[in-house]
Structure 1
Amino acid sequence: MKSGFHLILSIALLLMNSCIDPLDLEIDDQAEMLVVDGLITNEPGPYTVRLSRSKPYDSYADNWSAVEMGATLILSDDKGNQETLTETAPGRYQTSVAGLQGQLGSTYTLSIRTKSGETYTSVPETLRPVPPIDSLYFEVRPQQVLNEEDVEVTIHVVDVLLDAPDPETEKNYYLWQWQSTFQVNTQPWDYTEKIRGVRVPRPKDCCEVCWVTGPTNSVNVQEDRLLNGGLLSRHVVTQIPVTEQAFGTKYHLEVKQLSLSEAAYDFWRILKAQIENGGSIQDPPPATIIGNITNTVTGERALGFFGASAVTRSSLVIRREELGVRIGPYVFPDDCRVITNSTTERPVFW
């Protein structure tokens, strides 16, 4: 499964190719650009870097993005330490558990040599501190949406918010990521199959209870220009529609607050704009997403970003009865394991 960032980057690249106005990049129709997704933090490793190749838009339906195998990756810091990553799966490169670990104030560089002999290097990234999350909480609000019949209906949405102090001694840039987990209870004994146009009972023995995990599905960044030294208050981390599936029992959310360099913030900010504004004929042409990884011979920029971030975490549990809105039973007459990203293994925090 792709990481949240890799999926987000893929969506942004597709949107750039589907805009009416062309992106101002000197790329021929058959260009296959290196795509890099990697991050070192102050949390224990291993750290992962994913490499792939972007495909021309006209080949998207076949294999729009292909993993880049057989490369040599070296992660180094400004103190002379370095580690060669191991390819643990096609296009997935990792440090060892006991290998290089991110330290506050240290600067990190990623060097890449592809199987074909191309060499790339990242701009050095300094691992900057990040403040703790003071509080993580939620509010429920109604929202008007159009249903499948284009009729306006009212749904309820959970806004997940946080408060955090912002240090006043320097410019600060933030990125938020999160992972959700919720329990589903299904009815495999009611499973049916259509045979010659008739639904016939085909009860299944397993499974009734699963846990569904979802990764970060959007880009959430902010700078402290308007609150330097103050309190980052009521920042909306994510919004969760209230559904029978997600809130059958309770909903667990783990939020990570990451520090960014100014260059990393600019990258994520532009990527966010591409995703939110791309695709409409009324939209302006997309801006070039400038990463920090360059071919050392040709000067060509790779797509993506290798970053260094400090991380603080906080978790939130939202119980069905705390929402204050009526939620009907979740009806799914099938094995719960067929639901995307589901497992019968109970999470340790449940």
Structure 2
Amino acid sequence: MKSLRLIFLAVILLLFNSCVDPLELELDPDARRLVVDGMITDEPGPYSVRLSRSKQYDSYHDNWSVVEAGARVIISDNRGNQETLTETAPGLYQTSADGIRGQVGVTYTLQITTKGGQQYTSAPETMQPVGPIDSLYFEVRPYFELNEEDVQVTRYAVHVLLDAEDPAAEKNYYMWRWQGTFRVSTQPWDYTEKVGNVRVPMPKDCCETCWVTANTNSINVLDDRLTNGTNLKRHLVTHIPVTEQAFGFKYHLEVKQYSLSEAAFNYWRILKSQIERGGSIQDPPPANVIGNMSSISNPDERVLGFFGASAMASKAFFINREELGIRVGPYVMPDDCRVLSNSTTVQPVFW
């Protein structure tokens, strides 16, 4: 009987092994592809281009820099104008404030020569017009999440919405980016540090008041295939969780609406779907999203990223704490407010 059980177990294991095909990935440790991120607009410069290198698939450490430093980067147009960008930080290249400026209807190209002599170029991008933002407004909506005790609690978020015109004469593609700014007041005089097992008061002299900047953290693009000629209504720009830190006083929000070419829209749309994929086994495998950059030195080399040309329209407004319709308590942080990310003690000009 024991022998029959052993034979039966061996057959089961054999069947399991025969149903699984081993997956062998051929990883090229030297496949660090150039990544390009840049845009020229019709708003005042400077404009920025970031260059970096992708990491190998199984990279788990950061003992080497991914930025592409020491390159020669040029933006040119079809009217004979061009500007060589200045590397203001490793891998970050910028135009001068009074240098080349984007214009609707003009075509732009990005050219790159790396420190090693490899040459790259973008496909020509023609700047398309963009309509104005008619109105910008918000609604406060509840959502639910589990707290640290795994108890469901109600939270609130500010949903920022806009209305905008959509011309009927042409196909339009849009992208929206936003920047939020809020003031925080902290209590540096209550700062303590742990000495042994006891927290000892160590008051700080500076600083109590700061302004914190929050930037776009998602991709928001749209085409007018279903709304051509019909104005955009209640388009969701972003949603911002209501916290004591962000909404303790008032919140300034600026929304920028960009025109996109069809190629740029397709790039950002696919990248958005890659980022937001739910992770189901039915999902297609993730892949590098190819943009409009190519290698002149090696046509077979794959280059990542996109260089775009976009017209921009913007609108800004303040959200006052009293307008939220819900209670927002005081923000308590016994520390120098400058330790917060993206904070400054310099008051913005619009505040």
TM-score scaled to structure 2, two decimals? 0.89
Aligned to 1:4: none
Matched-pair contact (CA < 8 Å) for 1:163–1:232? yes
Aligned length: 327
**Is residue 157 from structure 1 mapped to residue 157 from structure 2 by the alignment?**
yes
Does structure 2 conserve the Cα–Cα contact (< 8 Å) formed by 1:55 and 1:66? Answer: yes
The alignment status of 1:286 with 2:286, answered yes or no, reads yes
SS in 1 for 2:52: strand
Of stretches 52-61 and 224-233 in structure 1, the one that deviates more from structure 2 is 52-61
Q: Does 1:93 align with 2:84?
A: no
1:228-258 CA-to-partner distances (Å, cap 9, x unmatched) read: 0011100000001111111110001111000
Matched residue, 1:127: 127
More displaced stretch, 94-103 vs 234-243: 94-103
Worse-matched range after superposition: 326-335 or 57-66: 57-66
Q: Residue by residue, what CA displacement relative to the aligned partner does 1:149-188 show, whole Å, maximum 9, x if unpaired?
A: 3221111111000000101111100000111100111111
Contact 1:55/1:65, CA 8 A, preserved across alignment:
no
Q: Secondary structure at the match of 2:105?
A: coil
**Aligned counterparts of 1:60 and 1:34: Cα–Cα separation in 2:** 19
State the partner residue of 1:51.
Answer: 51
Mapping of residues 75-114 of structure 1, within 5 Å = 75-114=75-114
Secondary structure at 2:149's aligned position in 1? coil
Whether contact under 8 Å (2:27, 2:57) holds in the other structure is no
Moved more, 273-282 or 216-225: 273-282
Q: Is it true that 1:314 corresponds to 2:300 in the alignment?
A: no
Aligned pairs (5 A) from 1:1-350: 28-63=28-63, 66-277=66-277, 283-299=283-299, 300-350=301-351
1:209-237 CA distance string (max 9 Å, x none): 11110111111000001100011100000
Cα displacement string for residues 301-330 of structure 1 (whole angstroms, at most 9, x for unaligned residues): 311100000000100210101000011111
RMSD (CA atoms): 1.8
2:288 and 2:304 in contact (8 A); partners too: no
User: Counterpart of 1:301 in 2: which secondary structure?
Assistant: coil
One-letter amino acid matched to 1:262: E
SS in 1 for 2:59: helix
Q: Distance in 2 between matches of 1:70 and 1:106?
A: 29
What is the rounded CA distance, in whole Å, between the counterparts of 2:304 and 2:63 in structure 1?
A: 17
Q: Which secondary structure does the structure 1 equivalent of 2:38 belong to?
A: strand
Q: Structure 1 residues 239-248 or 94-103, which shifts more?
A: 94-103
Distance 1:141 1:66 in 2: 40
Q: Is the 8 A contact 2:112 2:119 kept in 1?
A: yes
> What 5-or-longer segments of structure 2 have no aligned partner?
1-22
Q: Is the alpha carbon distance of 1:284 and 1:64 closer, same or farther for their aligned partners in structure 2, counting shifts above 3 Å?
A: farther
| 1:303 counterpart letter in structure 2 | L
Deviation sequence 1:31-56 (CA, Å, 0-9, x none): 11111111011112221111111121
CA contact (8 A) 1:55 1:63 kept: no
Take 1:314 and 1:286, find their aligned partners in 2: how far apart are those partners? 36
1:71 to partner: Cα distance: 1.0
* Further displaced range: 92-101 or 230-239: 92-101
* Equivalent position amino acid for 2:121 in 1: T
Residues 292 and 301, structure 1, Cα contact 8 Å, conserved in 2:
no
Contact 1:291/1:301 (CA < 8 Å) preserved in 2? no
Q: Can you list the C-alpha shifts for 1:74-101, whole angstroms capped at 9, x where unaligned? A: 2111112222222222211122223221
SS at match of 2:254: strand
How far the C-alpha of 1:65 sits from its partner, in A, is 5.6
Q: What TM-score results when the alignment is normalised by the length of structure 1?
A: 0.89
The secondary structure found in structure 2 opposite 1:66 is coil
Deviant stretches of 4+, over 6 Å: none
Q: Any conservation in 2 of the 1:165–1:231 contact (CA below 8 Å)? A: yes
CA distance in 1, matches of 2:328, 2:99: 48
User: Larger Cα Rg: Structure 1 or Structure 2?
Assistant: 2
CA offsets, 1:7-48, max 9 Å, x none?
A: xxxxxxxxxxxxxxx9x9x97233111111110111122211
CA shift in 2, pair 1:303/1:320, >3 Å: same
